[in-house]
Structure 1
Amino acid sequence: MKKSLVSMVALALGAAAAPGIAQDSPPATTAPAPAMATAPKLLVVISVDQFSADLFAEYRNHFTGGFARLLDGAVFPSGYQSHASTVTCTGHSTILTGMRPMHTGIIANDWIDFSSPLDDKEIYCVEDESVPGSTNDKYTVSPDHLMVPTLGERMKAADPATRVVSVAGKDRSAVLMGGHKVDEMWWWDRDSFVTYAGRATPPVVARANKAVAAEIARPQPPLELPDFCRAKDRAIPLGEGKTVGTGRFARAAGDVSGFGNSPAKDGATLALAAGLIQAMKLGQGPQTDIIDIGASATDHVGHKYGTEGTEMCLQLASLDRDLGDFFAQLDAMGIDYAVALTADHGGNDLPERQREQAMPMAERLAKSFNPDTIGKAVGATLGLSGKLLAYSSGNFYVTPDVPAAKKQAVIAETKKVLLAQPQVAAVFTGAEIAASPDPAGPADTWPLIMRAKASYYPGRSGDLVVALKPLVTPISDPTRGSVATHGSFWDYDRRVPILFWRKGMTGFEQPHAIETVDIAPTLAALAHVATGAPKMDGRCLDLDAGPGSTCR
């Protein structure tokens, strides 16, 4: 079998290679397993973008690499990104802050701010919109919209010697897990890993980018399909000659986009993470360091091809192997490390395939569901003209064109018009959400309005928040880009696995609901870091399978 990209790039970096990949690879450490009572030297936090609990359940019996290792630890198959806005920015903001979006301020990937200097008033979650000429396609990355500290920041405040490193396939993943104070932060940007303007590029990153550029310059033949993927090999027609379901990730030499939308991107991300760990000697000092890793290819594959074809099967098989190689490299470095792995949100397959597989109610959102059409219906009733509404990520905003005296009437009429749409399950006004109880109890029992409140932040969230009915995909035309997505109030988007592992721990599985906001306080306790203010929304999870406790 071809060497994994993790191993090839690691060799180019001079990093410790996984045992069995190269003949001169050092053996894995044979040091005795550390007691759970001692703080690990390195926290490794991995977010697999769009890795739903459904995908985890579907593939867990096929994992033989890195995921298989994690299955020997503490397994929580029903973790929850408990909020309603199940998108990348929002989910990543919860993982290492321990706080829900109602406190992180990250309510969606984008939101509307009519006071913004931007022409279109739409703000990207890690954008510095004060930079002249900033757009959603060309912007300056900033962590300023994140309103709370991350675990790395808390660790660095407790011990300034702590190193905080963030590496991801997306800028928003790196920023929202790393936070405001990082030692190194790198994310994939079109054809290489980049960081904030003005920051120096360490030799290890320069070598990684060179190695990845060489990989992109080579053609990639179709990936070999594992036997367990063969049942997935069926074309799904989407119109205009477009099909999905049979892809093997072949790409021509120099195909940057094909590389970025393939399993190879996760391999490059993990390889750079391993290189930084070695170059910076993370986990080898007296303090505990932390590295967070955002693996984004599962999300790219889910959007571009859906979740049930050969593409996703190959992606998860490749990621399993790459994670195994990554962990083996850490073993070879002799580091005492603890791992937490989860996802920023789940995902839903394309309705065309779902309708063939016992879900005839799956459908695409009607093209008439847009702020202009809804606004015209509202205006016709109230005798108003002009642009009344703006829309972003499930949020409807009343525009400044509406006279202040008419705003509440517009909100009320918009809710009425939206509820009349056959694909809408619920509509909540900002006032209704604000007056509702704060989230409490197991996340799988929350009513819809509590889910909405968990990701409602005044001044950023809309005047109205809309929940579409289950299995309604908010992509009207699958021939123009994405074919499937996420972002709903429903559990296929909210449920994600949460896995913890440390060498020598006694594993267990707990099927009951927990939340991703529980990860940060759990790791803080494991690393003997007091959390303090601001108080986290999550709770510490006891990772000791016996009568002892890792929570203090």
Structure 2
Amino acid sequence: MKRMLAGFLTGTMLALSVPTSAQPAPAPVSAPAATPAKPPRLLVVISVDQFSADVFAAHRASWTGGLARLTQGAVFPKGYQSHAATETCPGHSTILTGNRPGHTGIVANDWIDQSVARADKTVYCSEDPAQPGSSSRDYVASVQFLRVPTLGDYMKTANPASKVVSVAGKDRAAIMMGGRKLDQIWWWGADGFTSYKGTAVTPLVQRVNAGVKMLIDQDRPAMDIPDQCRAVDRPVQVTPTVSVGAGHFARKAGDIRAFRASPEYDAAVLALGASLLEDQKLGRGDATDLLILGLSATDYIGHSFGTRGAEMCLQMDSLDRELGAFFDRLDAAGIDYMVALTADHGGQDLPERQREQAASDAARVQPSLYPKAVSAALAAKTGLTGDLILGTGPFGDVYVNRSLTPAQQAQVLKEARAFYLAHPQVETVFTRAELAAAPEPSGPPESWSLLTMAKASFDPQRSGDLVVLLKPRVTPIADGGAGYVATHGSPWDYDRRVPMLFWRKDMVHMEQPLGVETVDILPTLAAQIGLALPATGIDGKCLDLDATAASSCPAR
């Protein structure tokens, strides 16, 4: 039998995980007020991984639940993850720090550090590479690479009574938004929610994990297709043996990978978030609390099925309903809360479907751009041997091998730059020297040059000797195998633009279509709760959420 996921939060998962208690009646609705008389008791910050402005626009008209509610607040449909390296870890590092990746230090999901004392010179953004026996894929989670404080850190410093809880589908989402001063932090591990090494899984989290395991251990039939998804309900052939768009999230019992690439994954994160909300009594004290939710299913679905098919449509429909159920719980508890929702990056659809839909130049990256292939081409040119350049993929940061002599490094850098610039799929290349000399970003993010975008991602200690930017609509996946057909990471608008939504009960609706940045979220929320921030060291600016002539931002 086919099924929908309606009410998942109010069904089995919460019955297993949330203590039952009498819930106060919702607070009565008062007349709209331009500026709140007092700060909210709870901030709920939600990141929907790979929730592009394009996906937001495509599905907005069909929402009736939680996402629809958020569109009645302050809506910024043209938010920007303004930097060039639009990946998960850098994007999450901007949301609650007020800083771009060049200042957070999180330049990519992974980068090369040739000084680490292990064979694997790739470093994962949320690991401790000094841990014995670790690698970038088998690591101990850590926040050590994040250079700047988060909203939660500022809140706890100003008032230790504030509680900060971070829950996400990915460790890098929970860590980069959560920061260092947390009451609790949880993310999905190998087979359940976990936390930092040495943190015991609490009985509450054990109950949630048991509920999730019950769900995973069941065969799941395909989801029903709502009317608004029928127009995009058709399969796309990716390779002679791989197609996407026909499964509608059906999966076999025990398939954790398929579970993560389904709406159920976000529902599990929301279930744990709701459980911790009750357990920690968030929003019930005198100080404002912070609940951070990193919803990762949209990203896994985008990678597995693309952004324009029935699966993404189903995900948006389910996310709207699950967020609605979550907000209903907050309403029933009588909590005065404010929500901010955005994304760590956008994403583009798989090139095969793009070519079917008028984007005739959409293509997959050529294998000749992968680091091993580039090294081989440079070896043939220079007569040198070995891995002359290092990198984590066919674009982004490229590092010259430090085992070469200074003269050889200079030769390789020159030849590598020429190689990339001559490649038909490369838009441009910047050197470390060019990026170091470039001015800091300023002005509307929609008008930035490629150099400015790359500067926003540049950290002199972690960025490459070259930064390679691919042409528009080049998907940096050479082989579109099953489970990974589309991605993100480029400086183009389909990857940079994300929605930014703010909502609180009785907020006067406003919509501002001009470009803003995700780094603006920290100072905007700080103003809402009367939190003083440092006068310097923050890239973002406060956004005025008051739709009247008054301002919700502090005077400058």
Band of TM-score, shorter chain: over 0.9
For residues 201 and 484 of structure 1, the distance between their equivalents in structure 2, rounded to whole angstroms, comes to 34
Please list the CA deviations of residues 35-69 of structure 1 after superposition, one character each: whole Å capped at 9, or x if unmatched: 52411101100000000000000000011110000
Please list the CA deviations of residues 249-301 of structure 1 after superposition, one character each: whole Å capped at 9, or x if unmatched: 11222322221221000001011101101110011100001011000000000
Query: 1:213-252 maps to which residues of 2 (within 5 A)?
Result: 213-252=213-252
CA contact (8 A) 1:43 1:289 kept: yes
Structure 1 residue 10 corresponds to structure 2 residue 8 = no
Q: CA, structure 1 residues 99+335, in 2 after alignment: closer, same or farther (shift >3 Å)?
A: same
Structure 1 residue 29 corresponds to structure 2 residue 27 = yes
For residues 67 and 118 of structure 1, the distance between their equivalents in structure 2, rounded to whole angstroms, comes to 45
CA contact (8 A) 2:242 2:482 kept: no
CA contact (8 A) 1:304 1:483 kept: yes
Query: 1:28-427 maps to which residues of 2 (within 5 A)?
Result: 28-30=26-28, 32=30, 36-392=36-392, 394-427=396-429
Q: Considering only aligned residues, what root-mean-square deviation do their CA atoms show, in Å?
A: 1.6
SS at match of 1:77: strand
Please list the CA deviations of residues 484-507 of structure 1 after superposition, one character each: whole Å capped at 9, or x if unmatched: 000001010000000000001101
For residues 53 and 362 of structure 1, the distance between their equivalents in structure 2, rounded to whole angstroms, comes to 19
For residues 16 and 491 of structure 1, the distance between their equivalents in structure 2, rounded to whole angstroms, comes to 45
Per the TM alignment, residue 218 of structure 1 is displaced from its structure 2 partner at its CA by: 2.3
SS at match of 1:116: coil
Which deviates the most, 52-61 or 6-15?
6-15
For residues 293 and 39 of structure 2, the distance between their equivalents in structure 1, rounded to whole angstroms, comes to 20
Per the TM alignment, residue 481 of structure 1 is displaced from its structure 2 partner at its CA by: 4.0
Query: 1:434-453 maps to which residues of 2 (within 5 A)?
Result: 434-453=436-455
Per the TM alignment, residue 437 of structure 1 is displaced from its structure 2 partner at its CA by: 1.3
CA contact (8 A) 2:245 2:309 kept: yes
AA aligned to 1:28 is P
Alignment correspondent of 1:535 = 537
For residues 428 and 224 of structure 1, the distance between their equivalents in structure 2, rounded to whole angstroms, comes to 48
For residues 381 and 16 of structure 1, the distance between their equivalents in structure 2, rounded to whole angstroms, comes to 70
Choose which of 542, 547, 550 in structure 2 pairs with 1:548: 550
SS at match of 1:341: strand
Q: State TM-score, norm by structure 1.
A: 0.96
Structure 1 residue 483 corresponds to structure 2 residue 485 = yes
For residues 468 and 341 of structure 2, the distance between their equivalents in structure 1, rounded to whole angstroms, comes to 30
Question: How many residue pairs get matched?
Answer: 546
Alignment correspondent of 2:468 = 466
For residues 373 and 258 of structure 2, the distance between their equivalents in structure 1, rounded to whole angstroms, comes to 36
Alignment correspondent of 1:433 = 435
Per the TM alignment, residue 31 of structure 1 is displaced from its structure 2 partner at its CA by: 5.8
CA contact (8 A) 1:67 1:323 kept: yes
AA aligned to 2:43 is L
Per the TM alignment, residue 386 of structure 1 is displaced from its structure 2 partner at its CA by: 2.4
Per the TM alignment, residue 365 of structure 1 is displaced from its structure 2 partner at its CA by: 0.4
SS at match of 2:166: strand
CA contact (8 A) 1:169 1:265 kept: yes
For residues 118 and 247 of structure 1, the distance between their equivalents in structure 2, rounded to whole angstroms, comes to 42
SS at match of 2:291: strand
Per the TM alignment, residue 30 of structure 1 is displaced from its structure 2 partner at its CA by: 2.5
Structure 1 segments unaligned to the other structure (5+ residues): 18-23
SS at match of 1:270: helix
Per the TM alignment, residue 213 of structure 1 is displaced from its structure 2 partner at its CA by: 1.4
CA contact (8 A) 1:347 1:492 kept: yes
AA aligned to 2:461 is G
For residues 5 and 405 of structure 2, the distance between their equivalents in structure 1, rounded to whole angstroms, comes to 64
Per the TM alignment, residue 522 of structure 1 is displaced from its structure 2 partner at its CA by: 0.2
For residues 392 and 452 of structure 1, the distance between their equivalents in structure 2, rounded to whole angstroms, comes to 17
Q: CA, structure 1 residues 315+50, in 2 after alignment: closer, same or farther (shift >3 Å)?
A: same
SS at match of 1:467: strand
Which deviates the most, 33-42 or 181-190?
33-42
CA contact (8 A) 1:387 1:401 kept: no
SS at match of 1:152: helix
Q: CA, structure 1 residues 298+146, in 2 after alignment: closer, same or farther (shift >3 Å)?
A: same
Structure 2 segments unaligned to the other structure (5+ residues): none
For residues 481 and 545 of structure 1, the distance between their equivalents in structure 2, rounded to whole angstroms, comes to 44
SS at match of 2:292: strand
CA contact (8 A) 1:16 1:329 kept: no
Per the TM alignment, residue 221 of structure 1 is displaced from its structure 2 partner at its CA by: 1.7
For residues 16 and 327 of structure 1, the distance between their equivalents in structure 2, rounded to whole angstroms, comes to 17
For residues 65 and 477 of structure 1, the distance between their equivalents in structure 2, rounded to whole angstroms, comes to 38
AA aligned to 1:487 is G
Per the TM alignment, residue 405 of structure 1 is displaced from its structure 2 partner at its CA by: 2.3
